[in-house]
Structure 1
């Protein structure tokens, strides 16, 4: 099997170092640390610091802010996969009396539950969690600002509710459940709710002077599920691999794919910028490349983790400043540097292990009306429907074991593909969600859109 070489090329490594050096210098970050993952393993680590000889390594903890939300979402998806809840359940079914119970669990995960962005004053990021001892203190007297399910509006209190949901159904504290069910199985030993040496201190950098001010690190209390965690580039690199591939000890590949499937568009400006939100995962279109992951910030810290599934490349960047470098752009650039300088080498083409005559009977050219399509049987067992002109609806289909196939993406996601047979057993046509595909355009005798004019095809006299 052809694989990536063990290390990146020297020119690629220098380009990565140059990018983070520019980010640290121009963003005036006290320190900045980054990692790149390719092929499921960390292939590069780099850091820059304002203190000579003290650049952080991949074991130094930084606070990761809202990347915590992705960890919380993993716990909720685990509850779903165990059958303890359905994502369509209203919160009230499992966590009654919050005042926001009409929002479904999926809506809370996707920030479409209608809740406020922040908890009532004083600002939760700069005050002890003990200031908000009850969920009512987090939600306030009017938790809902928008109609439930109608609008994407990022909500930190929404993830507090999801953390409380995990605690209710597990009967244990959120952080304890996270450690046992996610951190330990994935080997994330340097991720947790409290900083453990070595860790970076958080700083504010004066906007008009090269001077710094230390930032306090508050314990967020009930808001922990929205932003409490500390982690390292080494741990987050492993977490990125999990988000891309899944791990049966935590979540299946199918469930993590569901997390990174858009569930809600962003606000109008975000949509124009190519941003959407899944279930605890941000989705962005950067430089023509689809990235999934999450960003984070808390006083004194910035964090960003994103990956490109198509390139099999991920990047993590952490900095210890309240504002400064735009880390999501830095992450996107690190991914692009590797993907463009050292493109992913495709796996060798291989034929099917076995050829099914019933499948071979379906492949080839088909017509939906006058639109030409090709149906191809792939070695992975899927059927692939593609427009012959390059324009039109494309989808892969998974066999259901009963002669039917289910669409996996695009317009035909979830739709049923059935081969309709004639009395003699031969295939008459394909039925795809009521669309009829025939071997010839407007084939005579076929269902709609079969030959509807008795005079047939003609020219202009």
Structure 2
């Protein structure tokens, strides 16, 4: 039996290698590399074929395209956490004159600002960034295609705007801020805006012949915050561990959780596919599990970073081809292979260090109307309320220190749970956002909204 930080079992490693081998062969990728993270540590690296005549390892750079957006989003969240902006601020407050100033920072992060998907022609991914030296060249004369905040419409220019926002509030170039505030603090020494050897060349693979065509390598200029970065499976494995757990040197666990919480309205196709978008992170419900992360592509390169939240397993997959292997599916499969072959070992149960009488008094069975709920006091100092049978609203609550408790998730996130006492000091009921929870169904001694029939329970 392995612990989370030990190497994977031989059968698991072979299954992972088989999956990327199939992806590389069937997708006809010149090379493909991958890594798996479990428990915050890289536990497996794999590669197929070669770069410059050598088998690529975890230190060979590939271009990661739109995974760059997640890095940019982290920089914006740091500004928020420092109080330099609010996610509800309109862009105009901090970066005037863009033509998209009514959109909020949160809407830009979630691709709901109504901006176009691409910058005006020519195709920005295959032409020099010098063609778009100013922000106006990226946004065009009419930046907004949709009403602000009404729909999710993926926008590369939106993240160019966010990069400009970072530069404005930090007073330094985006790349310089990125290096100082994320790359150096997380030890991502092989992540850079320009390729640093050893690095893979980008290729187009002929759709009807096993022939290659080199793709041009362009500096994206102003568009850099949307897709410029190069990185390795080693560095992205460390970045995935950060996105799963947070790191107070960069961003707290609470803020990272906020990034991977849905923030964009779901359209019909998204609902059917189980996909969504948070604040710089893609979200997918697959095989009953929650996957978060981001994909990336630029001419010559494909990239994917996938985190299985419940299983605490992440995967990184990189390839140097314009199209071919479906890396999102590969990443999800790598997470599934580890989760199924070596299920996560739960943390040992431990009792409370100190028993808080006021919290312990709340424990036990409660009723909202006729719905039975259980309230437990957990070892982390929280209380958890949830239905005793079937589905329903459940949440954990954190003490505010004044006898009340704040909801942390789901329907009750931010709602106040207030124990209400009788004149003699005994516990009468719980008030949760106007819902009254009582020790007995429709307790006649509690102020149940609408009152309780004085004749009580009866037969029919």
| TM-score bracket relative to the smaller structure | over 0.9
User: 1:304·1:328 contact (CA, 8 Å) conserved in 2?
Assistant: yes
How far did 1:110 drift? Answer: 0.3
Encode CA deviations 1:309-334: one digit per residue, 9 max, x unaligned.
Answer: 21110000000000000000000000
Q: What are the within-5 Å matches in structure 2 for residues 407-426 of structure 1?
A: 407-426=407-426
Count of aligned positions = 459
Q: Deviations over 1:179-219 (max 9, x none)?
A: 00100000001001000000000000001111110001110
Once the two structures are TM-superposed, the CA of residue 297 in structure 1 deviates from its matched residue by 0.1
- 1:63 equivalent in structure 2: 63
Q: Is structure 2 residue 327 aligned with structure 1 residue 327?
A: yes
CA distance in 1, matches of 2:105, 2:52: 48
Distance 1:140 1:53 in 2: 44
Helix, strand or coil for the counterpart of 2:16? Answer: helix
Asked if residue 40 in structure 1 is aligned to residue 40 in structure 2, the reply is yes
- State whether structure 2 residue 266 is matched by structure 1 residue 259: no
Asked whether the equivalents of residues 64 and 297 of structure 2 are also in contact (C-alpha less than 8 Å), the reply is: yes
The alignment yields a C-alpha RMSD, in angstroms, of 1.2
Alpha-carbon distance, 1:453 to partner: 1.1
Partner of 1:16: 16
Q: Distance in 2 between matches of 1:270 and 1:324?
A: 23
Taking structure 2 as the reference length, the TM-score comes to 0.98
C-alpha distance 450-426 of structure 1, shift in aligned 2 (>3 A): farther
After superposition, the C-alpha distances for 1:92-142 in whole angstroms (9 at most, x for unaligned) are 000000000000000000000000000010011011000011111101111
Distance 2:68 2:5 in 1: 33
CA 1:5–1:150: 2 relative to 1, 3 Å: closer
CA distance in 1, matches of 2:3, 2:110: 36
SS at match of 1:440: coil
Q: Which structure 2 residues correspond to residues 395-406 of structure 1 after superposition, within 5 A?
A: 395-406=395-406
- In 2, are the aligned partners of 1:265 and 1:271 still within 8 Å (CA)? no
* Distance in 2 separating the partners of 1:171 and 1:163: 12
**Is 2:429 the partner of 1:429?**
yes
- Give the unaligned 5+ runs of structure 1: none
1:102 aligns with 2:141: no
Q: Secondary structure at the match of 1:225?
A: helix
Question: 1:359 aligns to what?
Answer: 359
Aligned to 1:189: 189
Counterpart mapping for 1:66-145 below 5 A: 66-145=66-145
SS in 2 for 1:272: helix
Listed as ranges, the matches of 1:200-349 within 5 Å are 200-349=200-349
Q: Which moved more, 1:270-279 or 1:145-154?
A: 270-279
- Structure 1 length normalisation: TM-score? 0.98
Change (3 A) 1:175 1:121: same
CA distance in 2, matches of 1:62, 1:192: 10
Compared with structure 1, are the counterparts of its residues 68 and 93 closer, same or farther at alpha carbon in structure 2 (3 Å cutoff)? same
CA shift, 1:353, in A, is 0.2
1:253 & 1:427 partners in 2: Cα distance? 35
Distance change >3 Å, CA 214–CA 15, structure 1 → 2: same
- C-alpha displacement of 1:269: 1.7
